[in-house]
Amino acid sequence: MKVIMHFELIKKYSRIVKIVFTILLVFVLLDLLFPLPGKKEFSKEIHAKDGTLLTAYLTNDDKWRLRTELDEVSPELIKAIIEKEDSWFYLHPGINPVSIVRAFYHNFTSGETQLGASTITMQVARMLEPKKRTYFNKLGEMFRAIQLEIKYSKEEILELYLSLLPFGGNIEGVKSASYIYFNRPPNKLSLAQSITLAVIPNDPNSLRLDRSNEEIIKNRDYWINKFKQEKIFSSSDLKDALDEPVEKNRYAIPVTAPHFSYYVKDNFSGDILKTTLDLSIQQTAENILLRNVRKNFYKGITNGAVLVIDNKNSSVVAYCGSADFYDESSFGQVNGITAIRSPGSTLKAALYAYAFDDGNLTPQMKLADIPTDFHGYQPENYDLKFYGNVSTEFALVNSLNIPAVKLLEQVGLNNFIVFLENSGFYQIQKQKSKLGLSMILGGCGTNLQELTRLFSAFTRKGKLYSLQFTSNDNEQEGEQIFSEASSYLTAQILSGINRNDIVNLSNYSKLPKFAWKTGTSYGKRDAWAIGFNPNYTIGVWMGNFNGVGSPNLSGAEAAVPLLFDLFNAIDYNSDVKWFEMPEEIYTREVCRESGMIPTQFCTNRVRDFAIVNQSSNEVCNIHKPVYVNLDESVQYCTGCLPSSDYKKAVYAVYQPELTVWLSKSSYDYQKPPPHNPNCTAKFAEGGPKILSPSEDYEYFLEKNSDQEILLLAASDSRVKTHYWYVNEKFIKKTKPGERVFFIPNEKELKITCLDDKGRDGSVKVSIKYY
């Protein structure tokens, strides 16, 4: 008997199991055949660092559909919507059987559809896949509701619901409605405003706050009283809500930092983008930029741009693409931060840092700022003056052009172009086959973003990092483009105040210390100033977007005052210490005239910075001993040296080009006297005149450095060919005036130059190694 009963139970429940299994199987098949429709496109939102909405953009179907997250919505609004629409939302599986039965009975007995049974989940299904309201489609909504409940959590479903609710016209979602109808985020709504938004979706095309509000007030007040009866909210709060007026309004979605917002929108994916923009710094930068542009407007300068980078993490905290985005007369919608312009002299800072790392320079090494012909290219300084024998420090801080071009030639044009390519200069990468030495003076294209990012590497120990625009950017490992030592040297030099591109410091109080480099493009079309300190790197451009120049448009006159105003406002009274000197830097004594290691003949010396195992240890080659008569009016060589009445005197012997310029400029320095006019040993029979190396001089070379000596000779116009010999060994055949370099391997050298007429000239030199 018991066996029979067990069998009957098994038989009974097996049918139930089969039915359940069949239902599940059918559901799975239907789910595979009819998957959930994809989510609708949401408006792209751009938020500031503090969460403030900067702006949002219409979807492709021209809707204001801002995705809403629960933590963005006031608890009162969520509570009002759930209590009004689906009080059992958190308990049912997507459909509410009790509501369905009640609605069916009521509608059947009344003979018309008066009561709905849609849960919030079913409403989401209908909003994702709108269809005509029929009983058959209602069954489809139920199926979709179960699919949604399986795939998403209750919180995710509620977020979808809040994001898709219709509010009339092209407004969808409570966040969109909150900004457009009340000009505030949904977490700042009052209780009355929350209940108002809860009632509009029932008839969104009639209950529109931008058209009328009588029906809205009527519906709002009905639900306020209903909530009061059901004790959903406190009586006092609901009383205040009844008294709150409803205003007829339609506000525009905020538009703050438009150039920044457009840039982020076009370059980053996602519908809610939380950025690094600091609203306080942004608004300060905008105000200062606009004030400076207005101040210079009468000078023919109509626009400007500012980029501010926080050096802690290379995040963009202010981004002003123009002085006024809505100023059509000045082309305000052009983004001056990404616009390709000539950089003027701004790249010189990178070139000098590159040369410091290359071992070519130290701050006190001398460079010749004299008229120079670079294969037909003859640059001039901005002030049309030349300064002669200047230190590297002076040349950089005063932005002298000839030393920079000569330095670029020395380090190698192609080497520097590759360096800039690797540092993210994309326009230079495109132009590289057309670039020449003039690029260091602005003969290339770049933009404010690339330049400011490059300068920020000086603040981060020589490492170049990608700029961070969004808060969820993971900072990548920086690329070491400069050494920490060269970055420090560059910062020290460019922070100097003894320069021509400086403002009246008495106009500023508690101005933070910072370094800066200016630039002015050819034709005075662009004025640049890039400044940096441990806190911020600030890039500034001033000019006209139509490309018209102005005689007042220079880095020093137009851009530097703006840069100083920005640092004074953004980093006012900063207590952050200046960059610490790296361990790789040491100080040494050098010759003041050459900036090189002094010899016993260098009496005027100065302290200089150098980089361990990097900076050149070349010995000074300017101060040289010469045989002269007792009153130093005649110079002797070993061939004409008298037996008495002579002495050795030390003179500064500069490179020939600099010597000529110094003489023409009436520069007062002690020159060697003319050679003995009666000497015949050197110039007998009119043979080649050896210009380099100089006779009877000692050369100090670094051991194992492969340093070379220049061979250079001149002849009259009848001579076509020179033949060079060192210690009777043939070196090379050249044309007169052609330069030849060789590496000496003996201490005593006899150098001979033979011309094609059979005449020769010889000199003897000594090599000493250190």
pLDDT tens track for 631-675: 888 888 777 888 888 888 888 878 766 775 777 787 777 877 777
Residues 6+ apart with CB under 8 A from 194: 74, 76, 77, 80
Paired residues of 251 in beta bridges: none
What is the reported pLDDT for 719? 61
The DSSP output letter for 460 is T
Tokens of 377: 């290219």
Closest by CA position to 647, among listed 628, 623, 673: 628
pLDDT by residue (tens digit) across 137-183? 778 788 888 888 888 999 999 999 999 999 999 999 999 999 999 99
What is the reported pLDDT for 111? 54
Closest by CA position to 569, among listed 282, 354, 357: 282
CB contact burial 228-242 (16+ within 10 A = b; e otherwise)? beeebbeeeebeebe
C-alpha span between 701 and 699 (Å, rounded): 6
DSSP H or E stretch at residue 154 = helix 154-164
Stretch 202-207: mean pLDDT: 88
DSSP letter for each residue of 103-147 = HHHHHHHHTS-------HHHHHHHHHS-----HHHHHHHHHHHHH
Confidence category of residue 29, pLDDT binned at 50, 70, 90: low
Sign, CA dihedral 596-601-604-605, equals positive
**Distance, CA of 644 to chain centre:** 70
Residue 260 has pLDDT above 80, yes or no: yes
C-alpha span between 764 and 650 (Å, rounded): 19
Tokens of 294: 């207005």
**Distance, CA of 489 to chain centre:** 21
What is the reported pLDDT for 720? 66
The torsion angles phi and psi of 451, rounded to 5 degrees, stand at -65, -45
pLDDT by residue (tens digit) across 48-94? 999 999 999 999 999 999 999 999 999 999 999 999 988 889 988 88
Strands 698-701 and 760-769: parallel
Residue 685 has pLDDT above 60, yes or no: no
Confidence category of residue 682, pLDDT binned at 50, 70, 90: very low
Mean pLDDT of all residues belonging to the chain: 88
Residue 477 has pLDDT above 60, yes or no: yes
Stretch 6-15: mean pLDDT: 60
* CB distance 369 to 386 below 8 Å: yes
What is the reported pLDDT for 585? 97
pLDDT by residue (tens digit) across 507-549? 888 889 999 999 999 999 999 999 999 999 999 999 999 999 9
Lowest mean pLDDT among 231-235, 303-307, 330-334: 231-235
pLDDT by residue (tens digit) across 708-751? 888 887 665 446 678 999 998 999 998 776 889 988 888 888 99
Lowest mean pLDDT among 123-127, 334-338, 669-673: 669-673
Half-sphere exposure of 445 (CA within 13 A, CB side): 11
Residues 6+ apart with CB under 8 A from 463: 457, 478, 479, 480, 481
What is the reported pLDDT for 683? 44
- The residue with greater pLDDT, 106 or 312, is 312
Residue 677 has pLDDT above 80, yes or no: no
C-alpha span between 304 and 321 (Å, rounded): 7
Stretch 374-389: mean pLDDT: 86
- The residue with greater pLDDT, 677 or 751, is 751
Confidence category of residue 32, pLDDT binned at 50, 70, 90: low
C-alpha span between 194 and 220 (Å, rounded): 10
C-alpha span between 539 and 576 (Å, rounded): 20
Residue 368 has pLDDT above 70, yes or no: yes
Residue type, 243: D
Confidence category of residue 271, pLDDT binned at 50, 70, 90: very high
Q: Averaging pLDDT over each range in 33-37, 598-602, 716-720, which range is the top one?
A: 598-602
Closest by CA position to 687, among listed 713, 656, 725: 713
The torsion angles phi and psi of 319, rounded to 5 degrees, stand at -150, 100
C-alpha span between 31 and 533 (Å, rounded): 60
Query: How many angstroms separate the Cα of 52 from the Cα of each of 49, 57, 63, 185, 319?
Result: 7, 15, 21, 9, 16
What is the reported pLDDT for 7? 56
Q: For the chain, what percent of residues have pLDDT higher than 90?
A: 60
C-alpha span between 588 and 488 (Å, rounded): 17
Residue type, 101: V
Stretch 472-478: mean pLDDT: 78
Residue 123 has pLDDT above 80, yes or no: yes
Q: Averaging pLDDT over each range in 32-46, 586-600, 642-656, which range is the top one?
A: 586-600
Residue 404 has pLDDT above 50, yes or no: yes
Lowest mean pLDDT among 22-36, 346-360, 605-619, 744-758: 22-36
- The residue with greater pLDDT, 31 or 291, is 291
- The residue with greater pLDDT, 581 or 110, is 581
10 Å CB burial of residue 630 (0-12, 13-18, 19+) is exposed
The torsion angles phi and psi of 185, rounded to 5 degrees, stand at -70, 160
Confidence (pTM): 0.82
Neighbouring CB atoms inside 10 A of 744's CB total 19
The torsion angles phi and psi of 48, rounded to 5 degrees, stand at -75, 175
Paired residues of 764 in beta bridges: 750
Tokens of 650: 């030390």
Residues 6+ apart with CB under 8 A from 376: none
What is the reported pLDDT for 30? 61
The DSSP output letter for 559 is I
